């Protein structure tokens, strides 16, 4: 029996070759792509202008890997967390974050994660699979619908900061971004998309080689190899020197400013000595720094840095002419904040 393929993982050229081999005209490719991406179709029978024979062939040869919505939770601060279900029954989470100036979709790239960062709830889950391009795009589509439904406005920004490490699902993530930014599909500006990575040097270099136009954020959290390796195992194979070199290469290729994300943990990485090390590391490329509040994940290993230390840390960096923002947590009461995504429903 012929095993069905995921049609949304085929490129336009691959689909064109397939149709030609089966005796269907190539102009059908554009129609099928329009149904899949512009009309967001979930079944072939709705593609009424393709003709009965082609619809039947598509049903026999392919499937559409649409996400479903398993649950939705709304925070006191109006953040919305969604649990999305895959065809196999896996659940991933995405978050809609409304502010006065932005409507941001935070989306996932994998089911679970393999990196096991100590401060992250997702890191306690097993990695089950990479999300397909269609499953990544679907999160944006579904969160856009929620933004229109609840706040009567569309998305302004997309961040790949949910479950998983995007650079370990490189091809699918870049394919999804190409679909989202294609003027004939969703037409989102790449400058409104940010990919956040825990730091995989060779893949950061590959982003440079591919001359991507979206934004890059590095989850740093310590500018000291010993401390960073303690909380992020990935640092043992991708230390700060290798990351610095990779980021410089990325910037040379793309001319894109990098964002450093730095969660402040009480009495761990919140001293002025830590700030001095961060300031020194941040000189490797043009950058901005986001200081992030720690969000508890229930194991008691870390605590949020005290407010006065956060302000002193920020001031120290600003006095050295660095661009610094303090990011306040959103959606904490529904486990939707940074580092809390773990398919937990309250």
Catalytic residue positions, numbered: 93, 338
Task: Please give the Cα distance from 62 to 155 (Å, whole number).
Answer: 31
| Owner of token pair 């029996």 | 1
Under 8 Å between Cβ of 223 and 260: no
Using DSSP, state whether 260 is helix, strand or coil.
Answer: strand
Q: Cα–Cα distances in Å, from 184 out to 37, 181, 297?
A: 9, 9, 41
Task: Please give the Cα distance from 146 to 128 (Å, whole number).
Answer: 27
Task: Please give the Cα distance from 47 to 129 (Å, whole number).
Answer: 30
Alpha helix positions (H), the chain: 12-21, 27-33, 52-61, 133-151, 170-181, 201-209, 225-231, 240-254, 272-282, 307-318
Burial call 64-95: b when 16+ CB within 10 Å, e when fewer: bbbbeebeebbbebebbbbbbebeeebbbbbb
CA 162 to chain centroid, in Å, comes to: 5
CA 55 to chain centroid, in Å, comes to: 33
Strands 157-160 and 103-106: parallel
């Amino acid at each position: 029996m012929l095993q069905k393929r995921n049609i949304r993982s085929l490129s336009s050229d691959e689909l064109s070759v397939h149709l030609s081999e089966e005796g269907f005209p190539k102009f059908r490719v554009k129609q099928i792509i329009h149904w899949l991406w512009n009309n967001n179709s979930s079944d072939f029978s709705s593609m009424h202008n393709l003709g009965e024979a082609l619809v039947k062939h598509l049903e026999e040869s392919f499937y559409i890997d649409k996400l479903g919505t398993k649950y939705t939770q709304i925070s006191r601060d109006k953040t919305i967390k969604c649990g999305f279900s895959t065809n196999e029954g896996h659940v991933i989470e995405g978050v809609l974050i409304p502010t006065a100036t932005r409507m941001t979709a935070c989306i996932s790239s994998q089911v679970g994660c393999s990196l096991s960062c100590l401060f992250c709830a997702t890191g306690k889950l097993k990695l089950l699979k990479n999300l397909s391009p269609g499953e990544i795009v679907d999160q944006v589509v579904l969160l856009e619908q929620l933004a229109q439904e609840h706040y009567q406005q569309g998305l302004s920004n997309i961040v790949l900061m949910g479950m998983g490490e995007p650079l370990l699902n490189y091809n699918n993530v870049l394919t999804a971004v190409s679909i989202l930014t294609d003027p004939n599909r969703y037409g989102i500006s790449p400058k409104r998309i940010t990919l956040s990575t825990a730091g995989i040097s060779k893949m950061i270099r590959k982003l440079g080689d591919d001359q991507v136009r979206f934004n890059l954020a590095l989850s740093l959290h310590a500018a000291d190899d010993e401390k960073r390796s303690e909380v992020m195992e990935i640092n043992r194979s991708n230390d700060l020197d290798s990351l610095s070199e990779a980021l410089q290469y990325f910037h040379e290729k793309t001319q894109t400013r990098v964002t450093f994300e730095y969660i402040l943990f009480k009495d761990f990485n919140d001293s002025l000595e830590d700030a001095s090390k961060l300031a020194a590391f941040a000189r490797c490329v043009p950058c901005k720094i986001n200081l992030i509040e720690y969000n508890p994940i229930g194991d008691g290993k870390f605590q949020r840095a005290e407010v006065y230390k956060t302000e002193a840390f920020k001031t120290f960096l600003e006095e050295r002419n660095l661009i610094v923002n303090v990011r306040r947590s959103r959606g904490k009461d529904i486990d939707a904040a940074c580092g809390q995504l773990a398919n937990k429903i309250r």
